[in-house]
A and B are shown apart, each in its own frame.
Chain A
Amino acid sequence: MSRIIVCLKQAVDVTQLKVDQKTGRLITAEAPRKISDFDKNALEEAIKLKEVLGGEVITVTVTAEEAKSTVREALAMGADRAVIIKDSKIAGIDTLTTALLLARTIKKLGEFDLILCGEASIDSFSGQVASRLAEILDIPQLTSAGKLSLEKGEVIVERALEDRYETVKAKTPALVSVTRGINEPRIPSLMAIMKAAKKEIAEWTIQDLGFPPEKLDASNMTVEILDVSAPKTERKRVVIKGENAEEIAENLVKALIQEGVVGR
């Protein structure tokens, strides 16, 4: 029997973002929300472990917004129950505070074997929460896992690093952050979706956690985001023309030689 906690972020669907043409700023409010991609891999891995070992998979989400329908998808995939920590002030919190909230929530849930996280979120892409969380809970952390196995109080992962793979072992309870390559998240069946409607989603407030509300104040954050804008693309956008393919090719080569990017 295993007890696995999966940290799920409700992220902005980055493929459906729009830019305010006047200011160059990103409009995130209207973009759809979804489970952050890497976290979905973490969830899939947790469900696969449960299918072999038995036990329970609980998802934990810290959010400023309504997240029930997002979390419902995790339940349809196979999580047993979900906890959402919701507070409007969570919108402006830093990774340290996110990790503190997750740690509090996980402690309240009791004992566990593994915490699974994505190695980063698709929207803010900071990649810090997993490491900070393990640090706060003072448990082993195995990051960037491309393969994972769990048995007899031991977790073994193959970490997918820049130029190498490292097989690393730790005692449970431990935290593992996963890469997108670790698995292909399942698409829930209609039956699973219907079953998920009956599963429990608990919404807790920060008071339920005994978390001091002033710790969510902007003045207590360790970093502040000053601006989020579309990067300027300073490209020449020269259209190469010609009578036929041969001439186009010729003109392109001339342009590239002039740029100094081809030739000796």
Chain B
Amino acid sequence: MVLSEYKGVWVFSENWNLMLEILGKGRKIADKLETGLTAIVLGHEIQQKAEEAVNYGADTVYVVDNPLLENFQAERYVGALTSLALQYKPEVFLLGSTKDGKALAARLATRLNTGCVTDCLQIEVTPDKRLTAKKMVYGGNALATITWRAKPQIATIPPRVFEKPELKERNGQIIRVELQLEEPKTERLEVKPGEASRVKLEESQIIVACGRGFEKKEDLTLAEELAEVLNAQISCSRPLAEDRRWFSEWIGLSGHKVKPKLYIALGISGVIQHIAGIRDSKVIVAINRDENAPIFEMADYAVAGDIYTIVPMLTRALKKHLQS
């Protein structure tokens, strides 16, 4: 493998919003590498998307327009990306970290005999123009710094890690490519929407989360009243969902990873698995009776006190301030 043959930064995601976010990051990487940014757009009747990709930063767009690509189909998509990458040899290929996107990236990396780093939270360019990436490992206990020894350097990027760039009227080259599509190995029989709250929680600006400090299910009204004043989403730590079944979903390593501007942890001790889900919050408030609770290590504002007395007062004080 002659690594110097590989040129350019490529971006693809089947999730268009995520695609635009990654184009922003891709632009920065391409500029540092002094190379071009290429968007790959797969689908049917997608001229408008191709133009949009240019306006969000792409110098070149490879468009594969085929009715068979209208909906995501793993084999057809991975086949198309592989053909393009073999032909044009990008040095960097950024993909979206959806579940489909991660499988796609791993399959692409296998076919191209290269490495892939999933769920990158940071990507930097070294002085010798290689990439290093950071990702969470060990259940959110550690950040690993990883580099590539093969090309293309494939990385997946989760939603909302990088901001969508500003839309600008730009010039770029849109190139239509005809490809032989691969036969699917799987058949999709049915698609059902998930619970609406799954999406909502990750996008919430304010979250009130309940933990084992709540003794009875009825007591959750304390948290609900607080959430109402703040116009916040209500959720919980894992034990309240999995053990007590008061909630169907939870925040933490095995549940939702959230990044609100304000996270209020009520009676949550803060085991590391929970912390892994809230690390990206802007401001964390913790109220817990146990002054040694690990949650306080992660809190910006800590109240060592009983949720049963503090929370009603907090709701009242907020009402007063917000309505004045």
Contact = CB atoms under 8 A, between A and B. Distances in A.
Interface of A: 12, 14-15, 17, 19, 26, 28, 94-96, 99, 119, 122-132, 134-136, 139-144, 156, 159-171, 180, 219, 221-231, 233, 235-240, 245-246, 248-250, 252-253, 255-257, 259, 261-264
23 contacts: A12-B138, A14-B138, A26-B142, A128-B102, A134-B107, A135-B106, A136-B110, A141-B74, A161-B98, A162-B198, A168-B186, A168-B189, A169-B186, A169-B189, A223-B115, A223-B146, A224-B148, A229-B142, A231-B279, A237-B299, A245-B305, A261-B282, A264-B322
A144 to B, nearest CB: 5
Interface in B94-110: 98-100, 102-103, 105-107, 109-110
Interface stretch (B4-12, B50-58, B214-222, B306-314): B306-314
Contacts of B107: 131-132, 134-135, 141
Interface in B184-198: 185-194, 198
Contact of A140 (B114, B150, B186, B309): B186
Contact of A235 (B138, B273, B284): B284
Interface stretch (B35-43, B116-124, B169-177): B116-124
Interface of B: 74, 98-100, 102-103, 105-107, 109-111, 113-119, 132, 135-139, 141-150, 185-194, 198-199, 206, 230, 254, 261-262, 271-273, 279, 282-285, 296-305, 309-310, 313-314, 316-318, 321-322
A128 to B, nearest CB: 4
A262 B230 contact: yes
Chain B interface main SS type:
mixed
A14 B138 CA distance: 5
B109 A249 contact: no
Contacts of A134: 107
A131 B145 contact: no
A245 B106 contact: no
A233 B115 contact: no
B278 to A, nearest CB: 11
Contacts, number: 250
Nearest to A125: B137
Contacts of B302: 237-240
Nearest to A139: B185
Given A96-B113, A233-B298, 18 more contacts: A125-B138, A127-B106, A131-B110, A132-B107, A144-B99, A225-B144, A225-B145, A226-B146, A227-B144, A231-B142, A231-B279, A239-B304, A248-B310, A252-B317, A253-B317, A253-B318, A256-B283, A261-B206
A10 to B, nearest CB: 15
A166 B187 CA distance: 10
Nearest to B15: A162
Given A126-B118, A255-B301, A256-B301, A165 B191 contact: yes
Contact of B254 (A95, A142, A180, A231): A180
A193 to B, nearest CB: 25
Contacts of A99: 110
A252 B107 CA distance: 50
Contacts of B146: 223-226
A96 B299 CA distance: 39
Contacts of B261: 261
A255 to B, nearest CB: 6
Nearest to B279: A231
Given A17-B141, A225-B146, A238-B301, A156 B309 contact: no
Given A169-B187, A222-B150, A230 B142 contact: yes
A164 B190 CA distance: 10
Contacts of B192: 164-167
A223 to B, nearest CB: 4
Nearest to B309: A245
